[in-house]
Structure 1
Amino acid sequence: MIEVVILAAGEGKRMNSSAPKVLQPVGGQPMLCHLTETARSLGPDAIHVVVGAGGDQVEAALAEEACRFAVQSERLGTGHAALQALPQIDPEARVLILPGDMPLIRADTLKHLLDSPAELALLSFLAEDPTGYGRVLRDESGQVCAIREHKDASEAERAVGEVNSGVICARAADWTDWLARVGADNAQGEYYLTDCIALAVADGRSVEAVVAADADELLGANDRAQLAQLEAIFQQRARRSLMAAGVTLLAPETVQIRGVVECGRDVVLDAQVTLEGQVRLGEGVTIGQGCVVRDSELAPGSRLEPYCVVEGVRSTGPCSVGPFARLRPGTQLAAGVKIGNFVEVKKARFAAGAKASHLSYVGDAQVGERANLGAGTITCNYDGANKHHTEIGADAFIGSNSALVAPVSIGAEATIGAGSVIGKDAPAAQLTLTRSRQRSIADWQRPRKKS
């Protein structure tokens, strides 16, 4: 039986933010959410989150996850924080305790720790600069004997390069026993979780520090600079994962991944592409420079030209978008659709082969197969209070600079004359236009500036 306790009560004052530290984003989602996702992959019987400052925000962020919450009303240290969750946990359960600001840790690393037969096992790493970390102290035989927090360490102890990550595991009943004996006689005046190591050693219990192979996994963040460091590591890891899956990144260091991205083979991402939320790119998709793709699915062979913003879009066949197009939520594109430059689409379905090649707005509409919307076409979908639907039939041709005032239907193979304002249904296979007769005034004089 394994239960996980995540310590998420810290205020994170150095972040200078209205949000708790654990909710600061890395890779497009809060650090805490990365951690709960990793913890859940271990198959624990329960995940407990200890909250404090900003607890309501933390609980709201985890509202869709089956977490149990404990409150640390006073900031009295990590030992005191862990103690708040223990009453909810089976005494015989093995309890894995994690800091809430460790978004990069991998499940395999935690599994390796849980494989330790020691009665108390902790994750350590070798730090290039150990300043601020608790030092892992070992005796002459190499056995762990204590952890000394940086502020309480002697000069000799501060020279130790092996440091505590804050990830530690033991039986719940043992945690309860040890924490009852931990004191606050230290530089911080706090109850340190790490003091349990010396108590376990004194009790003759087996203690092991498992040295992590990748120290970057165990990094946390106390300020914006450290948060940026975590972001850089996350991005590097995400880019490498995409390239390993067969994705070409033309300028890898400029591509940003801020969510969960699935790509087929031979996808090409140009410079300065940003992928956010849930994104699925089919085989052979090409994303041009400067595009933002958010919560969208693009079918194999689709192409985004440079500087498009695509959100909540689904294509069911290869299509072409842009450059400089904006596709908003609810847009669906079938095979052969072309959305050109400076076109905005919202909650509209384009059937196979339909086109809106330039300078148009199409909202709340159904566009039939092979329909062609000329430059400047607008579906006037909003009457100031409600949205209305426009239906455009297959093979319809909408002349340039036309306004279709919804609700309205354009029949199959209908032609709308350029410059028309259409407020009534246009019949199929006919020319419909609303235009005043052209006149030329021979003796008209152009106004001139007064001298």
Structure 2
Amino acid sequence: MRFAIVIMAAGKGTRLKSKRAKVLHQIGGKSLLEHVIHSATQIVPPQDVYVVVGHQAGAVQAAVASTNVHFVTQADQRGTGHAVQTARQAVAGYEHIIVLSGDVPLLQPETIARLRDFHLTERAAMTILTASPDNPHGYGRVIRHSPSSAEVTAIVEQKALTPKQESIREINSGIYVFASKPLFQLINELRTDNAHGEYYLTDMARVLVQEHERVVAIEAGDATEVLGANTLAEMAELDAAIRMATARRLMAQGVTIYRPETTVIDANVEVGADTIIEPYVQLLGETHIGEDCRIRSYSVIENSTLASHVLVRHGCIISESHVQAGALLGPYAHLRTGSEIGEEAHIGNFVETKKIRIGKGSKANHLSYLGDAEIGSGVNIGAGTITCNYNGVDKSRTLIENDVFVGSDTTLVAPIVIGQGSYIGAGSCIVEDVPPEALALGRAKQVTKDGWARSRRVQARTAREAGKGQS
């Protein structure tokens, strides 16, 4: 049986009061649409997923281009039924069509699979995923043939409910499976005689029942899976739910998270067992952290990889970097893009790095900027050291070989090579290569004038007394 998945992602989402397309709003570190595509591609290959785009189509396609799904353009957004009509030619070769909403991010692959399997078992023309939320107000209700029956006789919208139907809690989620043949034979029967003048896919239940086709329903195990968001406040609630689910997943794998409600952990983050995450930490994007690490409060780690036994002290910012086992970072270190920190290296207080590789056991503990540099193992970088990597036009690299000692307040003007085992005197400005095992000094000769301070104080006192006499 060949299944296609069609994802509705053409709407504006006007109730959000946002210029951005609704499906591009993010929860849990990914857009709503990315969450839905991820679940869809656990059921069918990406080449069998068709995203219907319309509003801000270019931006939507660009945002999920890496997923390798197909796109169908709905130039005029005339409802969900019209969206499927638009996708008709693209999915013509499939026997069954699963329809998902691009703004329902909590839907799990297991639920889609259960819906698909139930559809096949029931030999249905249409299968509806339903739910029973605590407050069903505003949703269309699913009317079954009988309480114990899988068959559906109608879907009734909120405003059309009779007093008896008001008590029904089972709602239509807007997620369906269709047998392609009856769907496309009858989809042109949809009408626009509704308040918005649109073709609603929901009405296919009525059309199919009238033609004596089998329409059935299966209820989702967790009603929250099928809930979308129509306001930014509701979006925040979904974000909190998905982040808490991520935190619970990590804790079940042996990760200690103090005060998980204060952390911001994206859905794709992976953390090894026995790592401790303190309050107010943010782990974002494709971040991977090894075992037995400790991430202290107020640190933000994004799209980075940390090996095991790494200590990240308070307030560190780490972006698109790699940190090897046993390294110690911070407090308040800033690892920018392309930083590669070696085993047992120390990057300390207010040290900023960018596009560097620093070797095993090397240390930069205080107040330094290290950019566009390759630093060997066993190197000591003194406080206040700067690699001057930019001349206003080009970036140049600094090479510091193994076992070098760089004194405090040193400036290294790239391009430059500091040879193995050499020493750089504190306060130096080094503009030429330093050979191995050498001492390099690049500062003015100190001049000391004995008694100068005493003479200056005497002169100042004499001047003050003369001024008083004149007054």
- 1:16 correspondence with 2:22: no
CA drift of 1:193 comes to: 0.8
CA drift of 1:334 comes to: 1.5
How many angstroms apart in 1 are the aligned matches of 2:73 and 2:398? 53
Aligned AA (2:230): N
Match 2:238 to one of 230, 234, 238 = 230
Query: Pairwise mapping of residues 201-212 of structure 1 onto structure 2 (< 5 A)?
Result: 201-212=209-220
Aligned equivalent of 1:411: 419
Aligned equivalent of 1:386: 394
The answer to which of 145-154 and 375-384 deviates more is 145-154
The answer to which of 422-431 and 233-242 deviates more is 422-431
CA drift of 1:74 comes to: 2.5
Aligned equivalent of 1:136: 142
- 1:107 correspondence with 2:109: yes
User: Does structure 1 retain, via aligned residues, the 8 Å contact 2:324–2:344?
Assistant: no
CA drift of 1:86 comes to: 1.2
- 1:162 correspondence with 2:197: no
Show CA shifts across 1:252-278 (max 9, x none).
111111241122110111111111111
CA drift of 1:152 comes to: 3.4
Aligned AA (1:8): A
Aligned equivalent of 1:172: 180
Aligned AA (1:3): A
How many angstroms apart in 1 are the aligned matches of 2:169 and 2:48? 34
Query: Pairwise mapping of residues 269-288 of structure 1 onto structure 2 (< 5 A)?
Result: 269-288=277-296
CA drift of 1:30 comes to: 0.7
Aligned equivalent of 2:73: 71
Aligned equivalent of 2:377: 369
Aligned equivalent of 1:42: 43
- SS of 2:261's partner is helix
Aligned equivalent of 1:95: 97
How many angstroms apart in 1 are the aligned matches of 2:325 and 2:447? 47
CA drift of 1:157 comes to: 2.8
- SS of 1:137's partner is strand
How many angstroms apart in 2 are the aligned matches of 1:376 and 1:175? 71
- SS of 1:220's partner is coil
Aligned residues: 451
How many angstroms apart in 2 are the aligned matches of 1:163 and 1:303? 49
Q: For structure 1, list consecutive stretches of 5 or more residues without a partner in the other structure.
A: none
Aligned equivalent of 1:30: 31
- SS of 1:362's partner is strand
User: Does structure 1 retain, via aligned residues, the 8 Å contact 2:229–2:235?
Assistant: yes
How many angstroms apart in 1 are the aligned matches of 2:204 and 2:330? 60
How many angstroms apart in 2 are the aligned matches of 1:109 and 1:219? 13
Q: For structure 2, list consecutive stretches of 5 or more residues without a partner in the other structure.
A: none
Aligned equivalent of 1:191: 199
CA drift of 1:189 comes to: 2.6
How many angstroms apart in 2 are the aligned matches of 1:184 and 1:436? 86
Aligned equivalent of 1:296: 304
The answer to which of 250-259 and 64-73 deviates more is 64-73
TM-score, length-scaled by structure 1: 0.96
CA drift of 1:144 comes to: 1.4
How many angstroms apart in 1 are the aligned matches of 2:279 and 2:6? 41
How many angstroms apart in 2 are the aligned matches of 1:265 and 1:242? 8
Aligned equivalent of 1:7: 8
Aligned AA (1:408): I
The answer to which of 144-153 and 405-414 deviates more is 144-153
CA drift of 1:305 comes to: 0.4
How many angstroms apart in 1 are the aligned matches of 2:74 and 2:402? 63
How many angstroms apart in 1 are the aligned matches of 2:101 and 2:217? 17
Aligned AA (1:289): S
User: Does structure 2 retain, via aligned residues, the 8 Å contact 1:290–1:306?
Assistant: yes
- 1:250 correspondence with 2:293: no
Distance 1:235-1:30 versus aligned 2 partners, 3 A rule: same
How many angstroms apart in 2 are the aligned matches of 1:351 and 1:386? 25
The answer to which of 183-192 and 440-449 deviates more is 440-449
Aligned equivalent of 1:122: 128
Aligned AA (1:62): V
- SS of 1:404's partner is strand
How many angstroms apart in 1 are the aligned matches of 2:240 and 2:233? 11
TM-score, length-scaled by structure 2: 0.92
User: Does structure 2 retain, via aligned residues, the 8 Å contact 1:92–1:173?
Assistant: no
Aligned AA (1:19): R
The answer to which of 441-450 and 184-193 deviates more is 441-450
Instruction: Calculate percent identity across the aligned residue pairs.
Output: 38
Distance 1:426-1:122 versus aligned 2 partners, 3 A rule: same
- Name the Cα RMSD after superposition: 1.8
CA drift of 1:91 comes to: 5.3
Distance 1:156-1:81 versus aligned 2 partners, 3 A rule: farther
How many angstroms apart in 2 are the aligned matches of 1:427 and 1:146? 85
CA drift of 1:329 comes to: 1.2
Show CA shifts across 1:93-112 (max 9, x none).
20000111011110000000
User: Does structure 2 retain, via aligned residues, the 8 Å contact 1:10–1:20?
Assistant: yes
- SS of 1:88's partner is coil
How many angstroms apart in 1 are the aligned matches of 2:393 and 2:347? 28
CA drift of 1:421 comes to: 0.2
- SS of 2:18's partner is coil
- SS of 1:115's partner is helix
- SS of 1:87's partner is coil
Aligned equivalent of 1:438: 446
User: Does structure 1 retain, via aligned residues, the 8 Å contact 2:246–2:266?
Assistant: no
How many angstroms apart in 2 are the aligned matches of 1:399 and 1:34? 51
Match 2:86 to one of 84, 87, 100 = 84
Aligned equivalent of 1:57: 59
How many angstroms apart in 1 are the aligned matches of 2:267 and 2:351? 26
CA drift of 1:340 comes to: 0.6
Show CA shifts across 1:148-200 (max 9, x none).
12233334333321001111001122221232112122333322111111222
Aligned equivalent of 2:403: 395
How many angstroms apart in 1 are the aligned matches of 2:452 and 2:66? 74
Match 1:356 to one of 356, 364, 376 = 364
The answer to which of 141-150 and 289-298 deviates more is 141-150
